[in-house]
Amino acid sequence: MPTGYYTHPEFQRHEMGHFHPECPERLQAIEDHLISHGLDGLLERREAPPATREQLERVHRPDYVDSLERASPASGYHAIDPDTSMNSHTLAAATLAAGAAVAATDAVIAGEFENAFCCVRPPGHHAEPDRAMGFCFYNNVAIAARHALRAHGLERVAIIDFDVHHGNGTEAAFRGDEQVMMCSIFQHPFYPYSGTEHLAPNMVNIPLPAYSNGMAVREVVETIWLPRLNEFRPQMLFISAGFDAHREDDLGQMGLVEQDYAWITGQLVDLARTHAQGRIVSCLEGGYNLSALGRSVLAHLKVLLER
């Protein structure tokens, strides 16, 4: 069964200014690695549709969605915060990124794919129900997970986040929700300086010090994540696939390499096969060193394809 691959040309038109690390070249780096390593023809490509207002509002407040629509500039940039801004393509790209995650969820649940990867930008895991931040506008993974629960009637889903930054927006959306388990690792102390206090029982947050390497992460996965996830028995897995914990990425100070991302992905594929009929939807989050990002996504996709 092929792996679905969701993307859209609009994702490369969203940009937040010269020299911003969350840049259109990120997706081109991924495409270049897929082509040069022969994976391009193995993926089943789908063009992302826009998320509907109903789908967005399963996670985001209506007044917040309205505010983004009002803020969208006809030209130039509209600054949300010092790191996050909109150009004339941002709103469409964000709506399509959320729509990619929803469409991938529909296709995986329908049995068209065992798993799918959403090669999207802007990323999503910092977007809170009523706030854009950290390069994020709509929380793609949270919207997809809520869609699986509400539209498809699933009872338990898991969200796994291995970005170097804590997914504060995802936690805000699901804190205390017994239908969702979120497992995350992240560098601490580090932006957005969250995820370590007042944890709900469904939040399995593991802060790690700077310069932690792959062995430290593998120990977390084996001794903490997997026991909790096996006990939870998720019916579908969603991955916030951030690759900025790579040792070559200057936006973090962690020590992961491609082999670590492949190993983590393999553990999650095995878990999904045990409890969730293999169902995984993975969405791109961070990763800003272009070469490391391309190599890491390649390693991630190879496992999704081969397992």
The 10s digit of each residue's pLDDT in 262-272 is 999 999 999 99
Spot the catalytic one: 126, 166, 188, 300. Answer: 126
Q: What is the pLDDT of residue 185?
A: 99
Amino acid at 225: W
Report the sign of the C-alpha dihedral through residues 162, 12, 9, 297, in that order: negative
Q: What is the pLDDT of residue 1?
A: 84
Mean pLDDT, residues 64-69 taken together: 98
Nearest by Cα to 240 from 186, 292, 307, 197: 186
Nearest by Cα to 159 from 151, 171, 147: 171
Nearest by Cα to 282 from 269, 295, 270: 269
Domain 3-306 has CATH 3.40.50.620: no
The b-or-e profile of 116-136 (16+ CB within 10 A means b, else e) is: bbbbbbbbbbbbbeebbbbbb
* Terminal-to-terminal C-alpha distance of the chain: 10
Tell me: pLDDT of 307 over 80: no
Residue 126 bears catalytic tag: yes
Q: In Å, how far are 97, 104, 116, 272, 280 from 186, measured between CA atoms?
A: 23, 26, 24, 22, 21
pLDDT tens column, 157-205: 999 999 999 999 999 999 999 999 999 999 999 999 999 998 999 999 9
Contact present, 282 and 239 (Cβ < 8 Å): yes
Q: What is the pLDDT of residue 84?
A: 99
The maximal CA–CA distance of the chain, rounded, in angstroms, is 50
Paired sense of beta strands 203-208 and 78-81, if any: unpaired
Amino acid at 91: L
Would you list the domain boundaries of the chain? 3-306
Q: How far apart are CA 22 and CA 118, in angstroms?
A: 16
Mean pLDDT of the chain: 98
pLDDT band per the 50, 70, 90 thresholds, residue 11: very high
